Structure 1
């Protein structure tokens, strides 16, 4: 009986954490581009990223890509050996651990022109203020579903339509179901 209580409580904690995950569209309405002169460093500084959050890179795949790189590669815009490369134009990446995550466009000249991003996922015990709410849906987003990838941090110590709302409702329903099962088991 005690094991059942622990399992139910653990499931509730996991579901509550999932309901807090956010989806951020890189560059907001401008997306991942060199044309709109987006300051990605400034953009990232206005957000607080947490483990479980998802970042969405939306771009024209004929002109751009997304490369996940090391800190040294990021600083020098070296695209010779990226950790991973994304090319769909609608890349969804879930952040799975704290620390810095480094990205840039591998098309020659784009990183040097500022199409690079350093995301700092805060440590779970950090007391950093909450960020802006996740993005909302707009008509300019591509119609194809995002390709989803989960990646770890780059190993450097501590830097759309939103699916967060639907996850929140599902998590709340699961928690309610678990609570009702928990209460039913103890009613007898």
Structure 2
């Protein structure tokens, strides 16, 4: 029985410190109302948005009309995929951002990336723990100054 009781503080610590980090994630619909399609300015869409580890990118498009391909910076610039590229084809692809750093996505269909600029680059920031600051003291309730004088000696 003592073993179970000793685990309660650990479970509480996980609930208090870890679970809120998961609750503070954001789901981004890439391209907003337009979704993932040719002719959208994805650089403008991403501009000003803050992406954090744990957030989710949702790529909505007509299945078969587009794909989402994870590429590196070189593949992004050249609109080229590689055999190791992750390819998504569901039409409702959800990608959880697991690590901080730059992330690049292109459409792998025909010339959608090179001709229509159907590509997205974002920078993912580390997950920050959100703590509320301590409340300011109320007016007239300033703490009393520490006593002055000689320190006690024993």
- Normalised by the shorter chain, which TM-score bucket? 0.7 to 0.9
Stretches of 4+ moved more than 4 A in 1? none
2:73 counterpart (71, 74, 78): 71
Q: Kindly tell me: are residues 117 and 99 of structure 1, through their superposed partners in 2, closer, same or farther at Cα, counting changes over 3 Å?
A: same
The aligned residue for residue 29 of structure 2 is 25
The aligned residue for residue 141 of structure 2 is none
1:90 counterpart (85, 89, 92): 92
* Corresponding residue pairs, total: 125
CA distance in 1, matches of 2:47, 2:110: 25
Q: Does 1:60 align with 2:65?
A: no
CA distance in 2, matches of 1:11, 1:4: 11
After superposition, what is the alpha-carbon deviation per residue over 1:67-99, rounded to whole angstroms, capped at 9, x for unaligned?
011111111111243521000101011111111
The structure in which a higher percent of residues are helix is 1
1:46 Cα shift? 2.4
Largest Rg, 1 or 2: 2
CA distance in 1, matches of 2:17, 2:117: 40
Q: Does 1:8 align with 2:12?
A: yes
| Larger RCO, structures 1/2 (Cα 8 Å, 6+ apart) | 1
Q: Matched residue of 1:56: which SS?
A: strand
1:2 Cα shift? 6.3
Does the 8 Å contact 2:103/2:122 carry over to 1?
A: yes
Does the 8 Å contact 2:101/2:124 carry over to 1?
A: yes
The aligned residue for residue 149 of structure 2 is none
- The TM-score with structure 2 as length reference comes to 0.73
- Unmatched 5+ stretches in structure 2: 130-154
The aligned residue for residue 51 of structure 2 is 49
Q: Matched residue of 1:55: which SS?
A: strand
1:125 Cα shift? 5.1
The aligned residue for residue 112 of structure 2 is 110
Does the 8 Å contact 2:107/2:113 carry over to 1?
A: yes
- Unmatched 5+ stretches in structure 1: 127-188
Does the 8 Å contact 1:97/1:121 carry over to 2?
A: yes
